[in-house]
Chains A and B, each alone.
Chain A
Amino acid sequence: MRTLFKSALVALLFASAAHCQSPSLRLFSETRPAMGTKFTIHLFAADERKAAEYFELAFDEIDRIEEVLSNYRPSSELSRINSRAAQEAVTTDPEVFALLRLALDFSRRSNGAFDITVGPLVRAWGFFRGEGRYPSAEELAKARAVVGWKNVQLDPASRTVHYRFPGVELDLGAVGKGYALDRVIELLREAGVQSALVDAGSSTMLALGAPPGEEGWRVQIPQPANRTQSVSSVLLRDASLSTSGSYEKFFRLNGRTYCHIFDPRIGEPVQNMLQTTVIASDATTSDILSTALFVLGPAAGKELLRSGPDAKVLWIQGEPQALQLDFWRWPDPVFPSASSPRQSPRRPLADRQFVQRRFFQR
């Protein structure tokens, strides 16, 4: 059931943008549930009717993509592929094929750190519609036997998907939201929108232009598990930002924390990584990279980044009281308190001079 939340936006985050807005354009926002989270769209439009048309266009597209990529809905195209691809090569449409091809290419480039076949592991560890649990050795072995991006064969000539054996399945949860945002911004741009920010559950955001009179859409990167304290602030303009974190979905056992993001190569949740934030030119890339670089960590992650994907990255590891930060092309982002909070007490957010004033442009 879809719930509709509709209001003129007066959110604190965008207060300065609203203050400087063009007299002919007003800021509108709308939130609806989709893809297991809530999507929010902020955009500038001439009036409420025009804004409503844009929102319908955008949310219809999100619904369409969810209907295609969901692995929760038996009627989705992905479910159809999952149900048949072990028995036969399944033809799919050009859009789905291209997305699978891109995702598997990132699997190859990340040496399997990003893997869209990770679903059986997620299920074995109890994170599919659950809060997580430690699997039995048998469950783990069974899951590991079918996880691996090389178990998926794509044939561009026939546009088919084929699994090497039963049990393999695709899960596009780490790329679908980003892809949906790219499609939405494309449609909004074509419809005449010049300034918008689309947000998929706060983990992936994509900016079109900037609020009138502003350099970009401001996004705060919070301390892990503490959304009231930020470690950096960026201005997004025609760029995307994605964050993966270990603190939204996890369980603890025998003093260890097990999060919902897996290292498919070892079949276990990633350890010791708190948060990874990626800025890229498009949301599909930032969404994929935020997971891949969370799994890889800074050292191996930088190797991947040297090979090509154009992105800016902020890794946060360590303990909440002693955060360790690492970067890739992320210009001087850290508030002093983030790395050593006891030595440098934080000032209130509104009083702070943002260290990071550069904006990112495609």
Chain B
Amino acid sequence: MNRRQFLGTAAGAVAMSALSSSAGQAQTVPPSDQINLGIIGVGSRGREVMRTFLRIPGVRVGAICDIYEPRFAEAQRVLRAEVPSFRDYRKLLEARDVDAIVVATPLYLHAEHVIASLDSGRDVYGEKDMAMTVPECDRIIKAVKRTAKKLQVGLQYHYAPWYVEGLQRIRDGKIGTVTHVFSYWHRNNDWRRPVPDPKDQKLERLINWRMYREYSGGLLAELGSHHLHYAARILGGMPESVTGMGGIVYWKDGREVPDTVQVIYQYPNKSTLFFSSITTNHFEGAHIKVYGTKGTITLTHANGRYNYEPKRAGEAEMEEGQAVRTGLITGPTYRAEMPYSGAAEEFQIPEGDSGSATFLACQSFVDCIRNNKRPQVDEIVGRESGAMVALGNLAIQTGKVIRFADHVKPLA
């Protein structure tokens, strides 16, 4: 369908109306607060982040970059505007009317693109994971320090109200002492994107970069990173060691990264974090379950809840002495919930906090730029997450227990 035919339909009208709205410049925001974004990498995630940023008053997209040209048209369909498009990210960084950069390229390019963007004098929203290796993470840490610019890493669930509430309840001691985090992100698909010419191996590796070790950290990076660092905030930051297994169990289609991974991280106090990702069964999807001595916090991508543990001897009822003072009441055997999971209390999302986790993360980044604040998910968080993913993958590849102290040096 050509453009004229496209415009002839209602869907086309939806797609192209507001074309003249200059990619969404809100008139109510003072010029000094207008932010022009440059987007490096406008694949599916880059376009989604770009679309989300356009929901924030005063944010527009000034330029885009991708090495795969068909994505320019896809990006402009999101923008409803034509913006300067570059194949070389260095050209985008030379553009004058770009205030901040979004990096949404394949993982192996994150360090190069984030550091160059910081060095160009712009604040950066960098998609997760921050970088592919620990040394790359360290180079980014230095670049942030050198340039005094801000870096926010795209671990957006940290901004979701139910994640925030879960963390607060844990820190308030509502579930007692946390001894274990059990998490999984399970899917049932091959994780592939269509390639126009399947025989073109260069194109296959460009579009399906997640499948190849040279470019990707696999399931642990693309899915696990969202869970791993949340757990790390609860259990105490960088783990002491990690072991894991993984392999290509089902999708034997030429990919190099495992379609099934399980890793266990251990902390100095011997508490543990388990993460599993499979691609052959979607039952129960994605959960983080934080187990404490007094209760459990369960988080999904849409909500959170709290379950208390059965009370133990010595707590309120026995202290009140009712069993002695008033006696007990007999009757037929009463029914108890089986299996026992305790009463659930769903987290309530406060009014006005609705919006996707990605929206809240993007909104926070803009707020940090406008008000000179430090991002909550900054380069330090990004380094911890990056190290957990990189060393988890190393454990899977080598079959050994990997000690973090052997690979991650304390920050200066």
Report whether B9 and A50 are in contact in the complex, using a CB–CB cutoff of 8 Å: no
Asked if B8 is an interface residue, CB under 8 A from chain A, the answer is yes
Asked if A186 is an interface residue, CB under 8 A from chain B, the answer is yes
Interface of B is mostly: loop
Asked if A164 is an interface residue, CB under 8 A from chain B, the answer is no
**Complex alpha-carbon distance, A102 and B10, angstroms:** 8
**Contact (A98, B18) CB under 8 Å given A83-B351, A83-B354, A189-B1:** yes
**Complex alpha-carbon distance, A17 and B209, angstroms:** 36
**Complex alpha-carbon distance, A102 and B56, angstroms:** 22
Report whether A156 and B18 are in contact in the complex, using a CB–CB cutoff of 8 Å: yes
Contacts of A192 in B (CB 8 A): 194, 196
Report whether B356 and A4 are in contact in the complex, using a CB–CB cutoff of 8 Å: no
> Smallest CB-CB separation from A103: which chain B residue?
B14
Report whether A1 and B284 are in contact in the complex, using a CB–CB cutoff of 8 Å: yes
Contact bitstring A184-207, B, C-beta under 8 A = 1, else 0? 001001011000000000000000
Contact bitstring B329-365, A, C-beta under 8 A = 1, else 0? 0000000000000000000010110111101000000
**CB within 8 A of B24: which of A57, A94, A288?**
A94
**Complex alpha-carbon distance, A60 and B194, angstroms:** 13
**Complex alpha-carbon distance, A80 and B18, angstroms:** 21
Contacts of A95 in B (CB 8 A): 14-15, 51, 78
Asked if B91 is an interface residue, CB under 8 A from chain A, the answer is no
> Smallest CB-CB separation from B301: which chain A residue?
A75
**Complex alpha-carbon distance, A295 and B84, angstroms:** 46
Asked if A253 is an interface residue, CB under 8 A from chain B, the answer is no
**Complex alpha-carbon distance, A2 and B57, angstroms:** 34
**Nearest-Cβ distance from residue A179 to partner chain B, whole angstroms:** 7
Report whether B9 and A93 are in contact in the complex, using a CB–CB cutoff of 8 Å: no
Report whether B57 and A91 are in contact in the complex, using a CB–CB cutoff of 8 Å: yes
Contacts of B284 in A (CB 8 A): 1
Asked if B26 is an interface residue, CB under 8 A from chain A, the answer is yes
Contact bitstring B4-42, A, C-beta under 8 A = 1, else 0? 010011111111111001011111100000000000000
Q: Which A143-184 residues have a C-beta within 8 angstroms of B?
A: 155-160, 179, 182-183
Of B98-106, B147-155, B185-193, B227-235, the stretch lying at the interface with chain A is B185-193
Asked if A213 is an interface residue, CB under 8 A from chain B, the answer is no
**Complex alpha-carbon distance, A89 and B56, angstroms:** 11
Report whether A179 and B196 are in contact in the complex, using a CB–CB cutoff of 8 Å: no
Report whether B26 and A91 are in contact in the complex, using a CB–CB cutoff of 8 Å: yes
**Complex alpha-carbon distance, A70 and B16, angstroms:** 22
**Contact (A282, B12) CB under 8 Å given A75-B354, A80-B355:** yes
Contacts of B5 in A (CB 8 A): 362
Asked if A281 is an interface residue, CB under 8 A from chain B, the answer is yes
Report whether B54 and A157 are in contact in the complex, using a CB–CB cutoff of 8 Å: no
**CB within 8 A of B11: which of A54, A79, A159, A282?**
A282
**CB within 8 A of B192: which of A52, A179, A182, A189?**
A52
> Smallest CB-CB separation from A102: which chain B residue?
B14
Contacts of A284 in B (CB 8 A): 9-11, 14
> Smallest CB-CB separation from A89: which chain B residue?
B28
Q: List 5 A-B contacts (CB under 8 A).
A: A1-B283, A1-B285, A4-B188, A56-B193, A281-B8
New A-B pairs, 12, CB < 8 Å, besides A53-B193, A80-B354 = A1-B283, A1-B284, A4-B188, A56-B192, A57-B193, A102-B17, A159-B18, A159-B26, A191-B196, A282-B11, A284-B9, A284-B14
**For the complex of A and B, 9 pairs with smallest distance between CB atoms:** A182-B11, A282-B9, A80-B355, A285-B10, A94-B80, A98-B17, A284-B10, A53-B194, A93-B54
Interface residues of A (CB under 8 A from B): 1-2, 4, 49-50, 52-54, 56-57, 60, 64, 67, 73-77, 79-80, 83-84, 89, 91-95, 97-99, 101-102, 155-160, 179, 182-183, 186, 189, 191-192, 280-285, 288, 362
